[in-house]
Structure 1
C-alpha cells in the first residue's frame, strides 16, 4: 500500500507579467488547469488541498469543475512563502535574492513549512492519494524534504505552471520522487512559469 502526494503548481495568472503577486488566472492559465484536470482524472483522490491565494484557489476550482467528485479545501499551510534565509552552505549567487526578503518573512516561511511537512509528509494508512495545488517554493520544499537535501536546495527546484510532481511512500520506506515537473499533459504553448535562465 502506498501514500501518494500529487503536487501541482497553480496556473498562470493574469497579473504575473505586471509583477503583481496574485490575481485570477489568465486565459492560458485556465487552459493549463483544464489540462492538469484531464491528466489527473483517473486518480481516486482521498483529499484535495489548495493555497488560499487567488491563483491557486481558481486552479483548484477549475480542476474540480472537470472532476466533480473532488471537494478542494483551502489550507494556510500551502501559502506561497520563503522557506529559508541565506544559509552558510548556500552558494553566494543566491545572496541578491535574499537581500529583498525580511527576517520576518523568512521566520514565517520556515514555521509554515515545518507545519506543512508535519501535516502532509506523514505516512497515512492504506492506499492514499492526495492532491495539493500550491506554489513553486512550497513544492520545491516538499521535494527537498523528501530527498533530505540541504535546506538551500529548494532554490534550485523549479516547477512550471500546472506542472505535476508526485511523491510516494510505501510502508516502512522513505519518500521517493516519482515525477518532478512533468509537463506531458501541456503542449508547448501552455508551458509557462519556469525561469528563462537557471539560477545556478
Structure 2
C-alpha cells in the first residue's frame, strides 16, 4: 500500500511578464503541458486535481487529453496563494516581497494551505497515484511540509513551469520527497518559470 503524489506547476502563462494575475497558456506553455502529459502517461493515476485558475485548468485539460482515463477535479485548496506572512526567521532578503502582500492575503493563504495539507497528505487506503496541477507557492508549501522545514522555507523553493515533483508515503511512515522540480521531459528552451536561468 503506497501513496504517490505528483505535483506539477502549470505551464507558462501568456504575457505573464506583464503582471497579469491569470490568463491562458502561451504557445510554449501548451507545449510544456503536452510534454509533462507524455511524461505521466505510463502512470496508473488514481485521481487528478487542479487549481481553478485558468493557467492551471488549461494545463490540466491538455494533460487529460493525453490521459483519457483520468477525470479532472478542480479544488479551491489549490488556488495560487501566499502561504505565510513574514516570520522572525525570514531572511531580510525576502522582506521586499511582503511589502506588496496584505495581512488578509497571508491569513487566507495560511488557512488554505492548512486545509490543503489535511486534504491531500492525509493517509488513504489502497495504492494511490494522485496528480495535482497547481502553482509555485502551493507546491513549495507541500515540499516544505514534507521536509518539516521552517515555515519561511517555501520562499526558497522554486518550481519551473510543468516541472515534476514527486512525494511518496508508505503506511506508518512519513511522506518522503522522491524528486523535486524534475525537468527531464523539457528541452532547455522550454525550461521557464525559474527566477534565475539554469546553467547550460
TM-score class normalised by the smaller sequence: over 0.9
Tell me what 1:13 maps to: 13
Give the 5 Å matches for 1:1-200. Answer: 1-196=1-196
> 1:105 offset after TM fit, Å?
0.2
What whole-Å deviation, never above 9, does each CA across 1:143-168 have from its counterpart, x for those lacking one? 00011100000000000000000000
SS of the residue corresponding to residue 87 of structure 1 reads coil
Superposition deviation, residue 63 in structure 1: 0.4
Q: Distance in 2 between matches of 1:163 and 1:33?
A: 10
Q: Which runs of 5+ in 2 are unaligned?
A: none
Instruction: Point out 4+ residue stretches in structure 1 off by more than 3 angstroms.
Output: none
| Whole-angstrom distance in 1 between the partners of 2:154 and 2:104 | 19
Q: Secondary structure at the match of 2:165?
A: strand
Deviation at 1:48, TM superposition (A): 0.2
- When the two chains are superposed, the root-mean-square deviation of aligned CA atoms in Å is 1.1
| TM-score, scaled relative to structure 1 | 0.97
Q: Tell me, in whole angstroms, the C-alpha distance in 2 between the residues paired with 1:193 and 1:94.
A: 18
Matched length? 198
Q: 5+ unaligned residues in a row in structure 1: which ranges?
A: none
- Checking the alignment, whether the CA contact within 8 Å between 1:5 and 1:130 is kept in structure 2 is yes
> 1: CA distance between counterparts of 2:127 and 2:10?
26
